[in-house]
Amino acid sequence: MTAGNRAPRSDGGNEAGEAAKNHAPRSNESNKTGEAPKNCGEKAKRPDALSGMVFHAMRMMAGTLVSRVLGLVREMLTAALFGATRQLDAFFVAYTLANLSRQLLAEGALSASFVPVFSRTLAADGRDDARRLADEALTILIFGCSAVVAAGILLSPFLVDIMAPGFAPEERAVAVTLTRMMFPFLMLVSVGALAMGVLNSLGSFFVPAIAPALSNLAYIIFLLATMRELSVWNLAFAVLTGGAFHMLLQVYWCSRLKFTLRPRRPDFADPQLRGMMALFLPYAAGLSLNQLNPVISRMLGSFLDGGSISVLTYADRVLQLPLGLFVIAISQAVLPVLSRQDPNDTASFCDFVRGAMRFNLFVVLPVAAGLCMVSHEVVHLLFFRGAFSEWAWHATGTALSLYALGLPGMASSTVIMRAIYARRMPRAAVLVTGVTVAVNLAASVVLMRFFAYAGLAAASASAFTAASIFAAWKLSRNIGGRLRIFELSWLWRVLLPLAAMSAALAVFKKFMPYPDASALSARLLWLFAATAGGGAVYAAGTLALRCPEWRWICGAVKKRG
């Protein structure tokens, strides 16, 4: 079917499945289904959908595990070579500016607007129409990224002044040059992100998850190969090399699945393309607000002691392992499934969101609690060598423990935001990110006066927790009933094993202190024993109390078989 003989639609995409063909999705945020709010609490269980979501999430986790481990190796190498210095602060400021654009365009608004429309087109109209939509989106993406890269290079001095107003002139000059060098990184990862959206919609989750691993590996190899002439400029070239490999792997894998991406002249009369672009602009506006959070931390951190930005960045890098392994993996698996559901069937939609939220928290809560308790030990094991000082060790450990407190909020907000994207609520997306920025800014200004870098980390955790609560409220209003996530029948089955795990870790640390002066093998063995023991206590407790998440995991394993 060609674009010329399709009837125009206001939603920008077709619904998947027979039920969806009989219902036009809504483009506003009000509940017009006529269903009573109580439907959101009715049992409309879809174990196959939830098991499928868990199955895809497990594949994402497998690939992401490799990526995040290599990411930690990358940061360990960077820490050993550069420590926590003002020169490295300049690199992190420059990298943040290039990365902000990537997160805004590539992994933010593009994913939020492209994946739901593409998934519906693929399910309802077939591969040819979906391929045409992807090619047209690629053309628009290339032109848009080119404009942003050119503007970023031109405005680098102004951007650095905003990001780090406390830098001295020589530090500012280094940051400006590094920013100009790394802005083309945006083009590489944006094309890779479009390919990732195609692969996820086609049911391929492992390759997109492993692509960052190839990027990190390229970064590590480049840095090791150029160690004899070591400088902060090597880091910029390493980032660009990693971005190129990240893009090429996913574009190549699309072609392996007979979905080769080629630029095509956009047909702006196409309702799917117009719908995607209509969603892109408000999501980009909302996400641009959200990207102010790292800017706030870097900007305020530039007024603190030298190395403050670096320790916050190191702590954030460690946090990326559980964040990517669990939170991002689950949210990536949720969006295509949600996009294919009939939005008028609010009972089933609400039930799936509730299940996804609970599974995410079921996994993330013990990770957050464990990371809080062993943060200093983790940082010592990963970074305490070379130029990484004892002050940097304790400062990074403190920041990491505070960041970990925000993991449940991050987990909740990512799943709810995917549901908001699937129900096409751009206004709500903007409001949620606005709440995140407002809370983060207010808390940072207050807390940094008393706790310096630790106050900035605590402010970030508070912001994501507040955003998740506000996002859940907005989604429940749109659906027409409460999400009922924290029902006592589920909550106590998770909190009791969580308390038992925390107590077991506290006892272990008291009678078996971390051997910080011992060999690497002894420290690795201690951390493995602590994490494996704590995880075993939590798993045994949730199994004994018959948490339903284990049924979904078993269903995912059977699906894989």
**pLDDT tens digit string along 201-245?**
887 878 887 888 899 999 999 988 888 877 788 888 999 999 999
Residue 558: band (very low, low, confident or very high) from pLDDT cuts 50, 70, 90: low
The pLDDT of residue 195 is above 70: yes
Amino acid at residue number 385: R
Mean pLDDT of 125-140: 87
Question: According to the model, what pLDDT value does residue 34 have?
Answer: 39
Question: According to the model, what pLDDT value does residue 370 have?
Answer: 93
The pLDDT of residue 65 is above 60: yes
Question: According to the model, what pLDDT value does residue 35 have?
Answer: 40
**120: in domain:** yes
Question: According to the model, what pLDDT value does residue 17 have?
Answer: 37
Question: According to the model, what pLDDT value does residue 413 have?
Answer: 84
**66: in domain:** no
d(CA 165, CA 259): 46
d(CA 312, CA 149): 27
Residue 31: band (very low, low, confident or very high) from pLDDT cuts 50, 70, 90: very low
**14: in domain:** no
Answer with the residue of higher pLDDT: 185 or 421: 185
Q: Taking the CB of residue 533, how many other CB atoms lie within 10 A of it?
A: 16
| Residue corresponding to tokens 């900035």 | 456
270 and 324 fall within a common domain: no
The reply to whether the predicted model has a pTM over 0.75 is no
> How distant is the alpha carbon of residue 308 from its chain centre?
24
Question: According to the model, what pLDDT value does residue 244 have?
Answer: 93
Residue 51: band (very low, low, confident or very high) from pLDDT cuts 50, 70, 90: low
Mean pLDDT of 151-161: 88
d(CA 320, CA 70): 11
Asked which of 292, 319, 351 is the last residue of a domain, the reply is: 292
The secondary structure of the chain in percent helix, strand, coil, rounded to multiples of 5, reads 80, 0, 20
Residue 160's domain comprises 86-292
Asked which of 268, 292, 316 is the last residue of a domain, the reply is: 292
215 and 323 fall within a common domain: no
273 and 313 fall within a common domain: no
480 and 555 fall within a common domain: yes
**117: in domain:** yes
Residue 300: band (very low, low, confident or very high) from pLDDT cuts 50, 70, 90: confident
283 and 313 fall within a common domain: no
**57: in domain:** no
For 204, the 3-state DSSP assignment is coil
Mean pLDDT of 524-533: 93
Answer with the residue of higher pLDDT: 533 or 293: 533
Q: What is the pLDDT of residues 420-451, one digit of tens each?
A: 877 777 788 778 888 888 999 999 999 988 88
The pLDDT of residue 500 is above 90: yes
261 and 142 fall within a common domain: yes
411 and 557 fall within a common domain: yes
- Residue % of the chain over a pLDDT of 70: 82
The pLDDT of residue 96 is above 90: no
Q: What is the pLDDT of residues 341-374, one digit of tens each?
A: 666 677 778 888 888 888 889 989 999 999 999 9
442 and 368 fall within a common domain: yes
Residue 235 backbone phi and psi in degrees, to 5: -65, -40
Question: According to the model, what pLDDT value does residue 368 have?
Answer: 93
How far from each other are the two terminal CA atoms of the chain, in whole angstroms?
36
The pLDDT of residue 497 is above 90: yes
What angle separates helix 185-201 from helix 111-125, to the nearest 10 degrees?
Answer: 30
Lowest mean per-residue pLDDT among 16-25, 227-236, 261-270: 16-25
101 and 150 fall within a common domain: yes
Answer with the residue of higher pLDDT: 135 or 106: 135
CA distances from residue 100 to 97, 109, 339, 362, 454 in whole angstroms, order as listed: 5, 12, 26, 30, 22
**81: in domain:** no
d(CA 383, CA 307): 14
Query: How many structural domains is the chain composed of?
Result: 2
What is the helix (H) or strand (E) element at residue 11, kind and residue range?
A: none
Mean pLDDT of the chain, nearest integer: 79
412 and 449 fall within a common domain: yes
Mean pLDDT of 102-126: 70
93 and 166 fall within a common domain: yes
Lowest mean per-residue pLDDT among 133-147, 349-363, 404-418, 547-561: 547-561
**203: in domain:** yes
The pLDDT of residue 29 is above 50: no
**43: in domain:** no
Asked which of 292, 321, 342 is the last residue of a domain, the reply is: 292
428 and 473 fall within a common domain: yes
The pLDDT of residue 391 is above 90: no
- Cβ within 8 Å of residue 482, ≥6 positions away: 37, 40, 41, 476
